[in-house]
Structure 1
Amino acid sequence: MPNIPKWSHSLSVRNPRLDEQHIILIELSKELVELVARGPSTDEPIHRLLKEFSDYARRHDELEEGLLAANDCPTLAEHRRVHRAAEAELDRWMASASTESLDRKALVAYFQGWMEHHLTETDMPVSGYMHD
């Protein structure tokens, strides 16, 4: 099972604002995995952290998509599709957490794979279109 990556320069998309947001998303992902590992008695604190992550990720996606659009990225539509799918997945996780029906093990697995995939498979290939 993949781990949440540690930030390194090799993950940079060469835009300081996006890199800083990626660092924050990595940290929020780690917080979420650590929270689940502590085993809270209810899913409510997990829901709160999922909401924080989701809100931040949506703001990040908005900035990223704006830069890609401004720089005429030829794969912008696909990038948006990937973002909308991730947002829908986050909505499903939050809905499960709000009804105390969260599969915590699956949530951890998702977050352990998501961040690395987002950086290496979704963002890095189009980093040339992410400049201000």
Structure 2
Amino acid sequence: MNEYLARWALAAGLLAASHSALAANASEGRAVFEDLCADCHTVTPGKNKRGPSLAGVLGKAAAGQPNYNYSEALRNAGIVWSPERLARFLANPKKDLPGTKMRLLSTPGQAEIAELLAWLQEQK
């Protein structure tokens, strides 16, 4: 029964995050990106830093950015970055995908993730 409740709680949290992304303020998402992501990522197509460019990341297969050396874990994950899937990854990358190179200096809250996703949806 506890496993069922844990799965239900995870599903409910992901659903809430996806709905919040729709209502989130994209301009606030830019600030989240600058605070939490910009040291390692850009949204300039083809411009990688320590992490790959996130331009147009939503709707794309993971580990698909050319000229970036992804972890084996991400290359083999078979993930397409939907808002819900990226929200789950950003909440705890190392737990969600053991072996990933992605690390966070601080863990974003659900509201920050929703705002970031709303802004990333605009970055083609």
| Greater helix content | 1
Greater relative contact order (Cα 8 A, min sep 6): structure 1 or 2?
Answer: 1
TM-score, shorter chain, exceeding 0.5: no
Q: TM-score under structure 1 normalisation?
A: 0.30
Bigger Rg, which one: 1
Q: TM-score under structure 2 normalisation?
A: 0.31
